[in-house]
A and B are shown apart, each in its own frame.
Chain A
Amino acid sequence: DAGVIQSPRHEVTEMGQEVTLRCKPISGHDYLFWYRQTMMRGLELLIYFNNNVPIDDSGMPEDRFSAKMPNASFSTLKIQPSEPRDSAVYFCASSPGRAGITDTQYFGPGTRLTVL
């Protein structure tokens, strides 16, 4: 398997623009996670899905952020409108999700977002 795939790898945009980050999880994994990493705040969980259903979005910073998972092989994280403070590396991760066992999360390579 190719692992978790994220696109784009780098994104530079101007304040106010819409940004869409994409993720393809590992085939067969039931859980998908979106994280944000910054120097100041470390690694933060934004939202996670189980079988394409959002389970916990308490980490989503504000209404400008939204995430969808229309099918088992694709998820998006959208920021509209983007702001300079959204600049960070965004990671997608997936895990198999065996019942009653906390499973390894497999992270993608990340998308480095810069909002000017």
Chain B
Amino acid sequence: QQQVKQSPQSLIVQKGGISIINCAYENTAFDYFPWYQQFPGKGPALLIAIRPDVSEKKEGRFTISFNKSAKQFSLHIMDSQPGDSATYFCAANYGGNEKLTFGTGTRLTIIP
């Protein structure tokens, strides 16, 4: 029940296209859903996060869509650029608990 399932495992998108990564969870107590971005040789870094009181959050080209009834959330990257090529992790936790449950990661490659 603590799992966060992430898909796809890898994704190739053309420059300028939309990249979409999906995550699903079981624990209805989860109330914080961050996305982390990791470049090769670096540690993950927070990209964007959402709480379930809103269905969407947008920051620049990055948008989280949240569907509470389906227990799913997704990351959309608009106008994808080669510099977006990285591994993306979704995560979840609850109640101010500092322990994050991470998804398995999606390796995104943006091709020219």
- Judge whether B98 and A50 touch: CB under 8 Å: yes
Within the assembled complex, what's the spacing in Å between the Cα atoms of A103 and B34?
A: 10
Closest A residue by C-beta to B104: A42
- Judge whether A103 and B43 touch: CB under 8 Å: no
With contacts defined as CB atoms under 8 Å apart, how many contacts are there between chain A and chain B in the complex? Answer: 53
- Note all chain A residues with C-beta closer than 8 A to B41: 109-110
Q: Name the interface residues of A2-55: CB closer than 8 Å to any CB of B.
A: 4, 31, 33, 42-43, 45, 48, 50, 55
- Judge whether A48 and B99 touch: CB under 8 Å: yes
Interface residues on B, range: 20 to 34
A71 an interface residue at 8 Å Cβ cutoff?
Answer: no
Q: A43-B89, A107-B44 are in contact. Are A101 and B96 (CB under 8 A)?
A: yes
Within the assembled complex, what's the spacing in Å between the Cα atoms of A106 and B45?
A: 7
- Judge whether A31 and B98 touch: CB under 8 Å: yes
A107 to chain B minimum Cβ distance, whole angstroms, is 3
Q: Report the count of interface residues on A (CB-CB < 8 A).
A: 26
- Note all chain A residues with C-beta closer than 8 A to B105: 42-43
Which one, A31, A93, A102, A104, contacts B43 given CB within 8 A?
A: A93
Closest A residue by C-beta to B45: A107
- Judge whether B98 and A102 touch: CB under 8 Å: yes
Closest B residue by C-beta to A31: B98
A109 to chain B minimum Cβ distance, whole angstroms, is 6
- Note all chain B residues with C-beta closer than 8 A to A102: 32, 34, 93, 96-98, 100
Smallest CB-CB A-B distances: 10 pairs: A107-B43, A100-B96, A102-B32, A42-B104, A104-B46, A43-B102, A107-B44, A31-B98, A91-B43, A108-B43
In the assembled complex, 28 residue pairs joining A and B whose CB atoms fall closer than 8 Å, in A order, are A33-B98, A42-B104, A43-B44, A43-B89, A43-B102, A43-B105, A45-B99, A45-B100, A48-B98, A55-B98, A91-B43, A91-B44, A93-B43, A95-B98, A97-B98, A99-B96, A102-B97, A103-B98, A104-B49, A105-B46, A105-B98, A105-B100, A109-B41, A109-B42, A109-B43, A110-B41, A110-B42, A110-B43
Residues in A lying within 8 Å of B, measured CB to CB: 4, 31, 33, 42-43, 45, 48, 50, 55-56, 91, 93, 95, 97, 99-110
